[in-house]
Amino acid sequence: MEFEPYRGELVAYCYRMLGSFHEAEDLVQETMLRAWKARDRYDHTRASVRTWLYRIATNACLTALEGRARRPLPSGLGAPSDDPGAPLTPALDIPWLQPFPDARFDVGARADLRLALVAAMQVLPPRQRAVLVLREVLEFSAAEVATQLETTVTAVNSALQRARAALADAADVGEVAEPDDPEVRAVIQQYMRAFEAADVPGLVRLLTDDAIMEMPPVPLWYRGSRDYGLFMDRVFEMWGPGWAMRRLTANGQPTLAAYAPEPGGGQRLHTLQVLTVTGGRVAHNVVFADPRVFQAFDLPERISSEEFRKAR
């Protein structure tokens, strides 16, 4: 019985449930171990291996979520800041939402991994969250989901209806362009060049009027191209020009690893920035500064100027 081909999609599922890539990997490992120990009790006439694995993974996720607070982004906790000079004090007691490193797994339907959608799902009770993902994203039948959750089809349909209603009010999770869309690639390239040059007016020209920047684990966030630009003025006053940017993807979105200049030469990994591009402009930038997030993306901590030139 082969379990390994399902690992990638199970990690994506557990990530949608938990909002943490590291915890998702751990729970999938636990799922695989449970399945291996119970393999002699598996009945192929009652469910496919895939459906059976999702039942085990769902139970593991629901157990892990018992008594836990949801994983938010700063914009889900309160109003935006109007002070670009506010102290950047991290709130390490909050279990922040983490990004999903696309390159680690060959996962289909990455649009359903978008940060805004995963953040919105975190407001749902865990069982509603499971029903929504299993039915809407993974397209299991109501009967299959009822079996996985040990409930009735009627209860599944009711939970799905409530989840849809709650999600509609939780966040704007509309369609966005894919990272390899030519227009998106052009915008990201311009953004990289402006950032590397510490060109704040150039960055601001690439933003929507109501662009959002948020920076977990710092709980404050900004809305509007003006405050976005004022905050970037502060960043470049602190670090100066000479940044290096590497392009990758996370959550099916264009993502940049930003390396800040060091006094002795070269650059050190500073942040991971997950961007949303709509209508040829950057509408949202979630800036992660947690070293645990960097580890999931296998990024070098430092790069030399020579390495950077070769990568370009």
Question: Mean pLDDT throughout 91-113?
Answer: 85
For residue 309, is pLDDT > 60? no
Instruction: Lowest mean pLDDT of 34-43, 105-114, 172-181, 206-215, name the range.
Output: 172-181
The residues, any chain, with a CB within 8 Å of residue 144's CB and separated by 6 or more, are 47, 51, 134
Cα separations in angstroms, 159 against 13, 71, 124, 142, 254: 18, 21, 10, 11, 33
For residue 194, is pLDDT > 70? yes
**Can you read off the two tokens belonging to residue 241?**
């020009």
Q: What CATH architecture does domain 1-68+126-172 belong to?
A: Up-down Bundle (1.20)
Cα separations in angstroms, 302 against 206, 261, 267, 292, 306: 28, 10, 6, 16, 12
DSSP of 273-291, one letter per residue? EEEEEETTEEEEEEEE--H
Question: Which pLDDT score, from 0 to 100, does residue 24 have?
Answer: 96
Question: Mean pLDDT throughout 184-210?
Answer: 96
Three-state DSSP at 301 gives: coil
Q: Residue 138 carries which DSSP code?
A: S
Distance CA 18, CA 64 (A): 8
For residue 175, is pLDDT > 80? no
The residues, any chain, with a CB within 8 Å of residue 257's CB and separated by 6 or more, are 245, 246, 248, 269, 271, 272, 273, 297, 299
**Can you read off the two tokens belonging to residue 15?**
């990530």
The dihedral sign for the CA sequence 91, 92, 94, 98: positive
For residue 74, is pLDDT > 80? yes
Question: Mean pLDDT throughout 172-196?
Answer: 84
Question: Mean pLDDT throughout 159-180?
Answer: 75
Question: b/e for 132-154, b at 16 or more Cβ within 10 A?
Answer: bbbbebbebebebbbbbbeeeee
Instruction: Lowest mean pLDDT of 31-35, 143-147, 174-178, 208-212, name the range.
Output: 174-178
Question: Which pLDDT score, from 0 to 100, does residue 110 have?
Answer: 66
Question: Mean pLDDT throughout 197-201?
Answer: 96
Question: Which pLDDT score, from 0 to 100, does residue 106 have?
Answer: 74
Distance CA 278, CA 183 (A): 10
For residue 96, is pLDDT > 80? yes
What residue spans define the domains of the chain?
Answer: 1-68+126-172, 182-311
Quickly state the pLDDT bin for 183 (edges 50, 70, 90): very high
By CB atoms closer than 10 A (0-12, 13-18, 19+), residue 5 is exposed
Distance CA 120, CA 215 (A): 17
Distance CA 133, CA 225 (A): 34
Q: Cβ(40)–Cβ(177) under 8 Å?
A: no
Quickly state the pLDDT bin for 304 (edges 50, 70, 90): confident
Q: What CATH architecture does domain 182-311 belong to?
A: Roll (3.10)
What's the mean pLDDT when you consider all of the chain?
91
Three-state DSSP at 164 gives: helix
Three-state DSSP at 33 gives: helix
The amino acid sitting at 64 is: A
Instruction: Express each pLDDT in 231-273 by its tens digit.
Output: 999 999 999 889 999 999 999 999 999 999 998 888 999 999 9
Kindly report the backbone phi and psi dihedral angles of residue 36, in degrees, each rounded to the nearest multiple of 5, phi listed first: -65, -40
Question: Which pLDDT score, from 0 to 100, does residue 153 have?
Answer: 96
Q: Which ranges of the chain would DSSP assign to H, the alpha helix?
A: 7-18, 21-37, 49-65, 115-121, 126-132, 142-149, 153-170, 182-196, 200-205, 225-239, 291-296, 305-311
Q: For 55, what's the count of Cα atoms within 13 Å in the CB-facing half-sphere?
A: 19
